[in-house]
């Protein structure tokens, strides 16, 4: 994921919200406490991420496009229904077909 100031990037967990023929749109997940922000949502990552010692925060403010060749599929899980319902209220989800 790119840093917000454009100085680089790092591997981080994310939630896939839309797929494209050449990549995916994702929302970033952070372990930093964002409970004071309305554009972040608590997400129960401790249940599926073996490295997580606590739940994390999903950044709903913007999606990021990740090309297929940059996407690391190290662990995958389904999103709980409460979180997914909140995501679908703020983001377009699904498949994007080109052609």
Between residues 97 and 85, the one the model is more confident about: 85
CA 46 – CA 64 distance, rounded (Å): 23
| Secondary structure tally for the chain: helices H, strands E | 1, 6
pLDDT digits (tens, 9 = 90+) for 56-86: 899 999 999 988 888 776 666 778 888 889 8
- Is the pLDDT score of 16 beyond 70? yes
Contact 58, 40 (CB under 8 A): yes
Q: pTM of this prediction?
A: 0.80
- Is the pLDDT score of 1 beyond 80? no
The ranges assigned to domains in the chain are 14-92
Q: Does domain 14-92 have CATH number 2.130.10.10?
A: no
Contacts of 35 (CB under 8 A, 6+ apart): 42, 57
Contact 55, 49 (CB under 8 A): no
Mean pLDDT value of segment 37-47? 87
């Amino acid at each position: 994921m790119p840093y917000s100031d454009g100085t680089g990037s790092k591997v981080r967990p994310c939630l896939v919200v839309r797929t494209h023929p050449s990549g995916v749109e994702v929302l970033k997940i952070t372990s930093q406490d964002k409970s004071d922000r309305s554009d972040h949502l608590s997400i129960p990552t401790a249940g599926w991420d073996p490295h997580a010692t606590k739940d994390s925060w999903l950044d709903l403010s913007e999606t990021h496009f990740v090309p297929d060749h940059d996407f690391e599929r190290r662990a995958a899980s389904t999103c709980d229904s409460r979180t997914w319902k909140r995501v679908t209220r703020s983001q377009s989800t699904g498949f994007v077909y080109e052609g």
